[in-house]
Amino acid sequence: MKGKIIKIVSNQYTVYSEGKAYDSLAMGKVRLQDKPIVGDEVEFELIDEKYCIQKILERRNQMIRPAISNVDQAIIVMSAVEPEFSNVLVDRLIFLISYNDIEPVIVITKMDLIDESNNIDEYIEDYRRSGYKVICTGFGDELIKLKEVLKDKVTVLAGQSGVGKSSLLNRLDKSFALHTQEISRALGRGKHTTRHTELYQVAGGWLADTPGFSSLDFSWIDSKVLIEKIKDFKIAESCRFNDCQHINEPDCAIKKGVEYGNISSLRYKNYLDVVPLCNQRKEWEL
């Protein structure tokens, strides 16, 4: 049978397959192959009345913190106000998420609190023009668009404190929200239980119970790889140099794109700001 690991507690693996959850064990050869993690697509069989994981299928991607594989999308939760909307923060998250081969989706909360003088619409337009999905929410909203986005996908939440992650979860699924509150309370007490990430069925998809990308550390990022992953920079034209960093090289297609307004100047500026933070780790530190 084929299934997906949705929970791991010590050597007990919960594998979900066609509407049912199976308590399973991992065979020695599987554990040697590569430690199974939550999100893994696996082959498993009933052997001597026990479900045994035989094989981990190739991972499309893999996050370290929390350890989850095959993540389809990361939702960047950012408030319109309180705390103030930060395009710098959103873009840094976009870069880190894209670097991990995960699709970023932006959810802007607290839209009910903005007044006319607010310029958030310009940011929203900018992200949409670049091809990013943006969902606006606020109190009183039924989250229909968000639910559509979650359906059939494996999703991780990201976003700073106070932007409204818990409120969103509460409105999406009460029992899931209670579960995540337990976790943050335990973490807040500094309790040394080994934290096990778990995938929960929410709105017809899978949502991780631990937020990701909480460290905005670029030191281990290879800027050459990052360039390839940023959606805004995927254009038909090419730069004069194959290894163009799009900083001050001549005949740079990206700089031209920014100049002619085809590439977001905001994203480009935020890219320039993270480049010096990249490539700080030595090979042996990774």
Ligand X SMILES: Nc1nc2c(ncn2[C@@H]2O[C@H](COP(=O)(O)OP(=O)(O)OP(=O)(O)O)[C@@H](O)[C@H]2O)c(=O)[nH]1
Binding site for ligand X (CB under 6 A): 109-110, 112-113, 137-139, 161-167
Task: Find the shortest distance in angstroms from Cβ 157 to ligand X.
Answer: 9
The count of other CB atoms within 10 Å of the CB of residue 51 is 18
Query: From the CB of 17, what's the least distance to ligand X, in Å?
Result: 32
Please, which residue, 172 or 244, has the CB nearer to Zn ion? 244
Is 92 a binding residue for Zn ion by CB under 5 A? The answer is no
Helix (H) or strand (E) run with residue 269 in it = helix 265-274
Query: CA-to-CA distance for 255 and 268, rounded, in angstroms?
Result: 8
Beta strands in 89-182 (DSSP E): 103-109, 133-136, 154-158
- Tell me whether residue 113 or residue 178 sits nearer to ligand X (CB atom): 113
Helix (H, G, I), strand (E, B) or coil at 154: strand
Instruction: Give the one entry of Zn ion, ligand X, none that residue 166 binds, where binding means its C-beta sits below a cut-off of 5 to 8 angstroms depending on kind.
Output: ligand X
Q: What is the Cβ-side half-sphere exposure of residue 51, based on CA atoms within 13 angstroms?
A: 19
Q: For the CB of residue 169, give the shortest distance to ligand X in the complex, in Å.
A: 8
d(CA 6, CA 253): 43
254 scored as a contact of Zn ion (CB under 5 A): yes
Complex with Zn ion: residue 187 or 225, whichever CB lies closer: 225
Tell me, what amino acid is at 153? Answer: K
Look at residue 138 and give the partner it binds from ligand X, Zn ion, none, a contact being a CB closer than 5 to 8 Å depending on partner kind: ligand X
Cα(76)–Cα(203) distance, integer angstroms:
18
At residue 256, the 3 state secondary structure works out as helix
Nearer to ligand X, 61 or 184 (CB): 184
Q: Which does 239 bind (CB under 5 to 8 A by kind): Zn ion, ligand X, none?
A: Zn ion
Residue 6 binding result from Zn ion, ligand X, none, given CB thresholds of 5 to 8 Å by partner type: none
For residue 77, the minimal CB distance to ligand X (Å) is: 6
Please give the helix or strand (H or E) that residue 53 lies within, else none.
strand 50-56
To ligand X, the closest distance from the beta carbon of 140 in angstroms equals 8
Q: Which does 175 bind (CB under 5 to 8 A by kind): ligand X, Zn ion, none?
A: none
Q: Pattern of binders to Zn ion over 210-249, x per CB under 5 A?
A: -----------------------------x----x-x---
Residue 260: CB minimum distance to Zn ion, A: 14
Which residue number, 152 or 237, has a Cβ lying nearer to Zn ion? 237
Q: How far is the CB of 270 from Zn ion (least distance, A)?
A: 16
Distance CA 219, CA 76 (A): 21
Q: Which residues, 6+ apart, have CB-to-CB distance to 280 below 8 Å?
A: 218, 219, 220
Of 239 and 263, which CB lies nearer to Zn ion in the complex structure?
239
CB 125, min distance to ligand X, A: 21
**Within 151-249, where are the H helices?**
165-172, 174-188, 223-229
CA distance 243 to 280: 19
Nearest residue to ligand X on Cβ basis:
164
Q: Does residue 4 belong to the site contacting Zn ion (CB under 5 A)?
A: no
Single-letter amino acid, residue 84: E
Q: From 220, 215, 276, select the one nearest 245 (Cα to Cα).
A: 276
What are 276's two structure tokens? 């010096």
Summarize as ranges the residues that interact with Zn ion (CB under 5 A). 239, 244, 246, 252, 254
